[in-house]
Structure 1
Amino acid sequence: MFAWRRTAVRKRVIVNLADKAFSGVLWAKRGPLLVLRDAELLEPGRAPQRMDGEVVIERHRIEFTQVLAAGGGG
């Protein structure tokens, strides 16, 4: 596991894809997948949309990931 993932697990992150982003708690890294909990879908021009359950993202689709400061919201 890369160092940023070790330090980011259980912290609030924004995972940026080419066309959208997800804000949530980085819960786990499972092989080629990242698992977010308490997630919201972020799309340009739209209000954040709450996601039920876990959001699973394939790592190869991720452009970049932001680790939010303590107390940072999505």
Structure 2
Amino acid sequence: MWGWFPWRRTAVRKRIVVNLADKAFAGVLWAKRGPLLILKDAVLMQHGAADTPMDGEVLIERVKVEFIQVAGGG
């Protein structure tokens, strides 16, 4: 499933939104380490709740990712 995709290289160090089944995280994709995505400056976004800033780095297992949005512009 996670074969070669052009966005994987170009999205590093860009602001993205990682959508999971029940929540999403917005932040800077800092690195991809094996089965993990590492976000910095991340915010937890949940339907019906205020965004929650996250301390430190957020590690997300790739198998739990439904889709990723790369921020447009500049």
* TM-score for both structures, normalised by structure 2: 0.91
Shift of 1:13: 0.1
Shift of 1:69: 1.5
Give ranges in structure 1 of 5+ residues lacking alignment: none
Measured against aligned partners, the alpha-carbon deviations of 1:28-52 in whole angstroms (never above 9, x if no partner) come to 0000000000000000001110000
Q: What is the aligned partner in structure 1 of residue 70 from structure 2? A: 67
Question: Where do 4+ consecutive residues of structure 1 move more than 2 Å?
Answer: none
Aligned pairs, number: 71
SS of equivalent residue, structure 1 residue 39 = strand
SS of equivalent residue, structure 2 residue 9 = helix
Give ranges in structure 2 of 5+ residues lacking alignment: none
Cα RMSD, aligned residues only: 1.1
- Once the two structures are aligned, what percentage of the paired residues are identical? 68
* TM-score for both structures, normalised by structure 1: 0.91
Q: Look up the equivalent residue of 1:40 and give its one-letter code.
A: V
Q: Look up the equivalent residue of 1:59 and give its one-letter code.
A: R
